[in-house]
Amino acid sequence: MHRYSRNRIGVGAVIRQFFYLLLWFFKVRILKKCAPLQVVLFITDYCNLRCKHCAGAGHDGTRMKTFEIVREELEYAYGKGARFVDFEGGEPMLWRDNEYKINDLVRLSKQVGFYSATITTNGQLPVRGCEADSIWVSVDGPPKIHDEIRGAGTFAILDTNIRESGRERLSINMTVNQINKTYVADTIRYAKENPSIKSISVNFHTPYPGVEELAVPPRERNRIIDEVISLKKQGYPIMNSRSGLEIMQHHSFKEECWLSAFILADGTKLDECPGKTCNICDSCGFCMAGETYCALRLKPDTILSALRLRLGTG
């Protein structure tokens, strides 16, 4: 069976990227400059689902950026220092601009100079042939629970698209909320047992206005994190580092979320996570906040996880 495999970057390119990361680290830790390493670029607010955890603004279906606007935004982010791009939506696989499709944006990002391009998708459209370096499919639990959150039949569709993706590096992410909080271990086991899935990342629902009731209380979140750490020790393919998970239990650390810049579907440019503008950082469930904190303090397991994610070393 034919399997998609992206072109492996040469040793020279890996070395250049590694030294860029060292230079970036020197700037942010020694020179105290806040420079993004990644840009999360929302290319549309059109979506083919209406999930229970999404605020209403996530389904507006009024904005589909043109190819040239995306080019300008990529060049802007590159100029700010970002070298990794995550295309999001809405549903990014819906993106079109006349003859241009999502692969054209992936190629464009490489032309601009980005090291890798990621697509985060709900898995309702085939991803076979997608040229993104990384694809993350959102999975909210076993079939019944996932369908309760995202709609009847959605799990079966994404499971088929994952198994038929033809990729070696497809991963899934789970956002834990009040509906699926007792199914975290089941979802992690699904990731391990599905031969088409490389790893899973675990996050928690962040209470944006309109969906606050789905947030998991701190005590329950800490219990779930203990469970995730236990499964990671057992060898389950969990992308989160143990250090990053443990710091999320305390939530008293200094968030340094300027590592990721954001460009929203309406073109708004943010130097940090949109959660800051909503004043919900103290309730943040994005475990990348903990990963960032630990990476900047050179926690070995977090550094290794980051290298595997960003440079494809594992």
Under 8 Å CB-to-CB from 118, ≥6 apart: which residues? Answer: 84, 85, 86, 87, 132, 133, 134, 135, 136
Residue numbers of the domain that contains 240 = 36-311
What confidence tier does 264 reach under pLDDT thresholds 50, 70, 90?
very high
Domain holding 129: CATH number? 3.20.20.70
Contact 296, 29 (CB under 8 A): yes
Residue range 146-175, pLDDT digits in tens:
999 999 999 999 999 999 999 887 999 999
| 202 phi and psi angles, rounded to 5 deg | -120, 130
Query: What distances in angstroms separate CA 251 from CA 58, 181, 284, one per listed residue?
Result: 27, 19, 8
The C-alpha atoms of residue 178 and residue 190 are separated, in whole angstroms, by: 20
What pLDDT, on the 0 to 100 scale, is given for residue 311?
A: 60
Q: Is residue 21 a part of any domain in this protein?
A: no
Q: Is residue 11 a part of any domain in this protein?
A: no
What pLDDT, on the 0 to 100 scale, is given for residue 285?
A: 87
**Roughly what angle, to the nearest 10 degrees, separates helices 218-233 and 184-193?**
30
What pLDDT, on the 0 to 100 scale, is given for residue 241?
A: 96
Q: Is residue 289 a part of any domain in this protein?
A: yes
Residue range 102-144, pLDDT digits in tens:
999 999 999 999 999 999 999 999 999 999 999 999 999 999 9
Number of domains making up the chain: 1
pLDDT value at 245 more than 80: yes
Most confident of 16-20, 49-53, 177-181: 177-181
6-33: average pLDDT: 79
Q: Is residue 5 a part of any domain in this protein?
A: no
Residue range 268-309, pLDDT digits in tens:
999 988 887 788 888 888 888 899 889 888 899 998 888 777
pLDDT value at 1 more than 60: no
What pLDDT, on the 0 to 100 scale, is given for residue 59?
A: 59
Residue range 182-234, pLDDT digits in tens:
999 999 999 999 999 999 999 999 988 889 999 999 999 999 999 999 999 99
Residues linked to residue 87 through DSSP beta bridges, in sequence order: 41, 119
What pLDDT, on the 0 to 100 scale, is given for residue 57?
A: 55
Q: Is residue 290 a part of any domain in this protein?
A: yes
| 312 conformational bin, left if phi > 0, alpha if psi -120 to 50, beta if neither | left
Residue range 70-96, pLDDT digits in tens:
999 999 999 999 999 999 999 999 999
**Roughly what angle, to the nearest 10 degrees, separates helices 11-29 and 288-296?**
80
Q: Is residue 93 a part of any domain in this protein?
A: yes
What pLDDT, on the 0 to 100 scale, is given for residue 288?
A: 87
The C-alpha atoms of residue 305 and residue 200 are separated, in whole angstroms, by: 12
pLDDT value at 6 more than 50: no
What pLDDT, on the 0 to 100 scale, is given for residue 5?
A: 42
Q: Is residue 25 a part of any domain in this protein?
A: no
Q: Is residue 19 a part of any domain in this protein?
A: no
